[in-house]
Amino acid sequence: MDDRHPPLRSFGRIKSRPIKPRQAALMDSLLPQIRCPDTPFDPKSLKPDAREVWLEIGFGGGEHMAAQAARARDVLILGAEPFQNGVASALRHIDEAGLGNVRLWDGDVREMIARLPDGCLDRVFILFPDPWPKARHHKRRLVSAEMLVELARVLKPGGRLRFATDWADYADWTLERIIASPAFAWQAERADDWRTPPADHVTTRYEEKKLGDCAPVFLEAVRI
């Protein structure tokens, strides 16, 4: 195998506690119906009447994704999450809200992005990803120069990227890479632009736990 192209690997836990029976049933029944293809695909083929296509990377338990999908049922939302308990939780939210505009990838988002055509997304959310705070683990962070190149490829010109974290070092890390990227323009004009949650932000239970070392930071960038 070529060492320059190592296999993709998700460093987070894939599964922790047993999945509840109802959610396990949805993993067997609903997930196969709404799973993203494992071959190259155009998202619009999944919902041809979609006004826009959004992607949430690492949707956790699916609260934010489901809330956004319920607010904008004319938008197709793709969600990627390798953590199986999170996928099971998201399926419950999707089922309870009767959401027909969500498609899931229960694996590494990089696998899915590689199958997407250029300029097919209008928005990308990366909300409170694992900060990997130890310096020796920084290479495991989702946000990297390489990831921004891939996101720039699949985002339309004018498409938006939203990143949020409650770890100060990860906020600095991400901002450095956004500013260094020739494909993105940071949108902040004053401190409140990164300190205040965007008007359409949905606060989740994870965010409310305040597990980080700072108040949430919200970075908005536009694909140039």
Classify residue 11: in a domain, yes or no: no
Q: Which residue has the higher pLDDT, 9 or 168?
A: 168
Residue 134 marked ligand-binding: yes
Classify residue 131: in a domain, yes or no: yes
**CA dist., res. 158 & res. 168, Å (int):** 27
Distances (CA, A) of 182 to 17, 159, 223: 42, 14, 9
Q: Which domain holds residue 49?
A: 36-223
The reply to whether 130 belongs to the active site is: yes
Classify residue 20: in a domain, yes or no: no
Classify residue 75: in a domain, yes or no: yes
Q: Considering the entire predicted model, what is its pTM? A: 0.92
What digits encode the pLDDT tens for the residues 32-72? 999 999 999 999 999 999 999 999 999 999 999 999 999 99
What digits encode the pLDDT tens for the residues 182-192? 999 999 999 99
**CA dist., res. 28 & res. 221, Å (int):** 37
Evaluate whether 62 touches 39 at the Cβ level (below 8 Å).
no
Record the tokens describing residue 152, joined without a space.
């720039």
Classify residue 121: in a domain, yes or no: yes
**CA dist., res. 87 & res. 81, Å (int):** 7
- Looking at residue 35, the DSSP 8-state letter turns out to be B
Interhelix angle for 168-180 vs 145-154, to 10°?
60
| Catalytic site residue from 118, 130, 169, 200 | 130
**CA dist., res. 214 & res. 210, Å (int):** 8
Report residue 201: phi and psi, to 5°: -70, 145
Counted domains in the chain: 1
Evaluate whether 143 touches 129 at the Cβ level (below 8 Å).
yes
**CA dist., res. 156 & res. 123, Å (int):** 9
CATH number of the domain enclosing 45: 3.40.50.150
Residue 206 marked ligand-binding: yes
Residue 205 marked ligand-binding: yes
Residue 96 marked ligand-binding: no
What is the reported pLDDT for 28?
Answer: 97
**CA dist., res. 163 & res. 178, Å (int):** 10
The pLDDT > 90 percentage for the chain reads 91
Classify residue 26: in a domain, yes or no: no
Classify residue 30: in a domain, yes or no: no
- Give the SS3 label for residue 192: helix
Residue 56 marked ligand-binding: yes
- The H or E element that residue 89 is part of is helix 84-97
